[in-house]
Structure 1
């Protein structure tokens, strides 16, 4: 796996709706910019060898970094793959939609739900939103949120951005009723 760079972003919301957020609402994202392992090969029918060679290593690289950056137990989490213009969206999906990748984060976060995800293709600097949901109950509305990310110089055409995001809480000042109130 050829990693060009790793980017870490930590965001803390201190006020929302004109009121203090206490404690501050914290979200961390760690993104690895990697060489697309299928780049330049034309259409690759069997992606399994590339998944086996890279997915677990990516999960092992990113999960501890996002946990450290968050500095708290995650309550919500998500993932993303953004493929450069010379690749296929399926290349990013292959790396993040496998337990070989996601179980590293689920284990670190003591999570039981599947990680929500976004996959897309785009040029360097493309915006993408990482969806987040609660780590043990995807129906908890307060933790349905997204975090916008942009890496000015990534992905290059033959690269993939693989990112994990974690939040230490739900949305700041959330006040929607539980889903069970509508059932």
Structure 2
């Protein structure tokens, strides 16, 4: 198996945050949100818009899925501690937005992330093409109960020197719990809401 240099991985960056106070009080359920991001050389740089991307996807996406899930699992206390997840990619300005999509939107990444995190939900996502140091908001939701609004949250990722024009930043986000003071219910217990039953409220 090739080493990280052989896969074009320049570095892996971990970031985490724990909200200790929200609106002046501690969350009832403390949670840590985190991202693990890999800065990789864009393997399709200089190619044509019609190029087949699949060969490089098969080689690189599973490696990124394994490395990033390993980092988050180790830092957040194991797979059982992780309740929510999300994914993202930022493509450097020399590449196509499709190059980031190729690495995070195929079974060679998403299916493996679900397996490694023991999740069932579709993984929510964000992607962009941007200069080095640009921020990207990574959405998260519950790994097994996507309708559970308590775990709808985001974490912002930024790497000062990446992506370079010929790089892609692939990000995996996770949380060990819900938003602070979550209290808006979930989609499975919502009342039926349609314009014609709200009457004067929206007229």
Confirm or deny a common fold (TM above 0.5).
yes
From 132, 135, 138, the equivalent of 2:140 is 132
Q: How many Å apart are 1:42 and its aligned residue?
A: 3.4
**Structure 1 residue 52 corresponds to structure 2 residue 58:** yes
Unaligned runs of 5+ in 1: none
TM-score, scaled relative to structure 1: 0.95
From 182, 188, 191, the equivalent of 1:182 is 191
Q: How many Å apart are 1:69 and its aligned residue?
A: 1.7
**What does 1:59-70 align with in structure 2 at a 5 Å threshold?**
59-70=65-76
Q: How many Å apart are 1:8 and its aligned residue?
A: 0.2
Whether contact under 8 Å (1:67, 1:166) holds in the other structure is: no
Q: How many Å apart are 1:134 and its aligned residue?
A: 0.7
- Distance of 2:61 and 2:122 partners within structure 1: 16
What do you get for the CA RMSD once the two structures are aligned?
1.3
Name whichever structure is richer in strand by fraction: 1
Whether contact under 8 Å (1:63, 1:104) holds in the other structure is: no
Counterpart for residue 104 of structure 1: 112
- Runs of 4+ aligned structure 1 residues displaced above 4 Å come to none
Whether contact under 8 Å (2:148, 2:185) holds in the other structure is: no
Deviations 1:73-93 (A, max 9, x none): 211100001000000010000
**What does 1:1-183 align with in structure 2 at a 5 Å threshold?**
1-72=7-78, 73-179=81-187, 180-183=189-192
Q: How many Å apart are 1:60 and its aligned residue?
A: 1.2
Q: How many Å apart are 1:150 and its aligned residue?
A: 1.0
Structure 1 stretch displaced more, 150-159 or 33-42: 33-42
- Distance of 1:95 and 1:25 partners within structure 2: 28
Q: How many Å apart are 1:104 and its aligned residue?
A: 2.6
Structure 1 stretch displaced more, 19-28 or 60-69: 19-28
TM-score, scaled relative to structure 2: 0.86
Count residues in correspondence.
183
Structure 1 stretch displaced more, 42-51 or 145-154: 42-51
Unaligned runs of 5+ in 2: 1-6, 193-203
What is the SS of the residue equivalent to 2:30?
Answer: strand
- Distance of 1:151 and 1:27 partners within structure 2: 17
